[in-house]
Structure 1
Amino acid sequence: MKVLTENFRILQYCGVWLPVKWTGNFKEKCYHFYTIIIVLLYSSFCVSCVIGFLMSMDDIEKLVNSGVMMLTFITSFVKMMNLLIKRNDMLQIFGYMDGRLCRPQNTVEKSIQLNSTDRARSILKFYGSMVMGAVITITIGSLFEDVPTRNLPFNGYLPYYHSENFGYWIFAFLYQHFGHFCCAAIGCVSDTVVYGTLIQICSQLKILKYRFRNYMSEKLKKSEISSVMIEEQNFFDDSLEHHLIILQISSEVNDIFSFTIFTQFLLSSVILTVTIKTLSSLSLMSSKFASIVSYLSCMLGQIFFFCWYGNEVSLESSGITSAVYEGDWLTYSLKTRKNLLIFMARTIYPIVFTSGHIVTLTVASFNSLIKMSYSAYNVLSQVA
Structure 2
Amino acid sequence: MVEPLSKAFDNNVWFWKIFAVWIQEVGNKYYKCYAVIFLISLYFLYDGLLVLNLIYTPRHIETFVPELIFFVTEMAVLFKVHLLLFKSKSIQKAFEMLDCETFTGDTEHQIETNKRFKSLYKKYFLIYFWVCQICYVSIVLIPLFIYFINGNELHLPICNYYFLSEENRDNNILSWFSYQAIADYVHMTYNYTVDTFISGLIMMGLAQFKVLNVKLAMIKSSMDKNDLPESKLDAKMHQDLIKCIKHYALLREYCQIIENIFGTSMFFQFGVGVLSNCITLYAFLLPYFESQLIFLTTYASAMTMEIFLPGYLGTLLHYESAEIGRAVYQCDWIERSESFKRSMRLLVERSKTPIELTALKIFPLSVTTFIAIMKTAYSSFTLLRVVHNRESSDYN
TM-score (norm 1): 0.90
1:179 aligns with 2:180: no
Q: Distance in 1 between matches of 2:258 and 2:226?
A: 39
1:14 aligns with 2:15: no
Q: Distance in 2 between matches of 1:252 and 1:78?
A: 17
Other-structure match for 2:277: 272
> Cα offset for 1:318?
1.3
Q: Distance in 2 between matches of 1:333 and 1:101?
A: 26
> Cα offset for 1:155?
2.3
Other-structure match for 1:132: 133
Other-structure match for 1:223: 228
* Conserved? CA contact 2:199–2:313, under 8 Å: yes
* Conserved? CA contact 2:252–2:355, under 8 Å: yes
Cα RMSD (Å) of the superposition? 2.5
Other-structure match for 1:123: 124
Identity %: 20
Q: Distance in 1 between matches of 2:366 and 2:281?
A: 23
* Conserved? CA contact 1:282–1:289, under 8 Å: no
Query: Counterparts in 2 of 1:73-222, with a 5 A limit?
Result: 73-143=74-144, 144=146, 148-155=152-159, 157=161, 163-164=167-168, 168-216=172-220, 217-218=222-223, 222=227
Q: Distance in 2 between matches of 1:221 and 1:181?
A: 64
Residue range with higher mean Cα deviation, 258-267 or 35-44: 35-44
> Cα offset for 1:158?
8.7
* Conserved? CA contact 1:4–1:117, under 8 Å: no
> Of residues 239, 242, 246 in structure 1, which corresponds to 2:247?
242
Other-structure match for 1:31: 31
Q: Distance in 1 between matches of 2:134 and 2:180?
A: 18
> Cα offset for 1:223?
2.7
> Cα offset for 1:352?
0.8
The 1:77–1:125 alpha-carbon spacing in structure 2 relative to 1, beyond 3 Å, is same
> Cα offset for 1:120?
1.0
**Which secondary structure state, in structure 1, belongs to the residue aligned with residue 228 of structure 2?**
coil
1:262 aligns with 2:267: yes
Encode CA deviations 1:60-107: one digit per residue, 9 max, x unaligned.
322221122112123213201211110001111111122222221121
In the alignment of these two chains, the number of paired residues is 378
The 1:31–1:317 alpha-carbon spacing in structure 2 relative to 1, beyond 3 Å, is same
Q: Distance in 1 between matches of 2:165 and 2:385?
A: 37
Other-structure match for 1:252: 257
1:321 aligns with 2:325: yes
TM-score (norm 2): 0.88
Structure 1: which 5+ residue stretches go unaligned?
A: none
> Cα offset for 1:278?
2.0
> Cα offset for 1:253?
1.0
Q: Distance in 2 between matches of 1:74 and 1:271?
A: 10
* Conserved? CA contact 2:57–2:162, under 8 Å: no
Encode CA deviations 1:4-34: one digit per residue, 9 max, x unaligned.
22222222222223596x54xxxx2222222
Encode CA deviations 1:256-311: one digit per residue, 9 max, x unaligned.
11111111111121121122112123489x32233222211111111111211111
Structure 2: which 5+ residue stretches go unaligned?
A: 1-5, 389-396
Q: Distance in 2 between matches of 1:185 and 1:316?
A: 32
